[in-house]
Amino acid sequence: MALQLHDELTEAWLGAAVAAPSIHNTQPWRFRVHDDMIDVRADPDRHLRFLDRDRRSMLLSTGAAVFNLRLAMALDGRLPVLQSFPADGLTVARIKPGRVGTPGPDLRALGTALFRRHTNRGPYARAAVPARVINELRVAAAIEGAELTVLDGVRSDALLALIATADAAQRHNPAYRRELATWTAADPHRRDGIPAHLIGPRDRDGRLPLRDFGLLSAGPDRPAVPFEPRPQLLVLSSRTDSRSARVRAGQALQRVLLSATVRGLATQPMTQVLEVPRLRRAMADPADPWFPQMILRIGYGMPVPGSRRRDWSEVITTP
């Protein structure tokens, strides 16, 4: 099957890929269509040089785009073939449409969430997520080779303390504040970054260490509301911490997020602690050598709109 730019099917697949989540909505990806395959490439111009020094979050983000591309192909009846990761430093995956196949009900359900999945920075209900739903999310991660750990109250409290430590250190760092300002600038024409209407309210009681995207741009009338007192936290981990493992973790993350959306769950990353190397190492369990890649807050929240995305035509690289 030869792929061509401006082919209707290829455009639809790329449109699904760019709907993936990314750190600060930087959308750090580019795509190259050639022969019968699509390369997914990292875009170093959109790398957060302070917050993401080792490019871990950039690789997770591109991995999420890889999963969306795979899913879109499968939904159109072409089983995606994911080739090994080339070693040129930018291409993270090469995907080609394989043999004809009918997507199963699980994939079709994920497809309904492709454009409904949004990060929800608001308060969640106190209702606990049922164990059967949590197990579905764990299975979703395992399918992509990752592990999803549900934290109990004690471990959640310990992790929240580490997140608060990391958040405080970042807030007071001038380099962090400059980078945050770049991606929260109030420009109504932007199709990336975090717009003002998606920053979310402040925690009235100051207990939940959420990243404050309104730190530099929100006005004094930004509301402060009560959040859930005991957030439900999940940790997504990979067996190794290699470049390819991070891309795989990004695919696992997206499958988890879409699965959560199907089940009516709200989700929000809480990654400050993962962005400080010494604190990320403090999370590791010597008896269980998995590497933490993402921390998710999940629950039931009011629906929120999504952030804007660049058009697929803006992220194409000519072979």
Strand pairing category for 202-203 and 224-225: parallel
pLDDT value of residue 135: 98
* Helix pair angle (56-75, 105-113), 10° resolution: 120
Q: Answer whether residue 319 shows pLDDT above 70.
A: no
Strand pairing category for 37-42 and 29-34: antiparallel
Task: Specify the amino acid at residue 106.
Answer: D
pLDDT value of residue 220: 61
Sheet holding 78-83, edge to edge: 29-34, 37-42, 91-100, 78-83
pLDDT value of residue 197: 87
Residues 159-209 have pLDDT tens digits of 999 999 999 999 999 999 999 999 998 888 899 999 988 998 999 998 999
- Domains identified in the chain and CATH numbers: 8-117 (3.40.109.10), 131-299 (3.40.109.10)
**Cα 305 versus chain centre, distance:** 16
* Cα 24 to Cα 309: distance, rounded to the nearest angstrom: 12
> Span 296-306, mean pLDDT?
96
Q: Return the number of other C-beta atoms located less than 10 Å from residue 142's C-beta.
A: 13
pLDDT value of residue 7: 87
Chain mean pLDDT for the chain: 93
pLDDT value of residue 88: 64
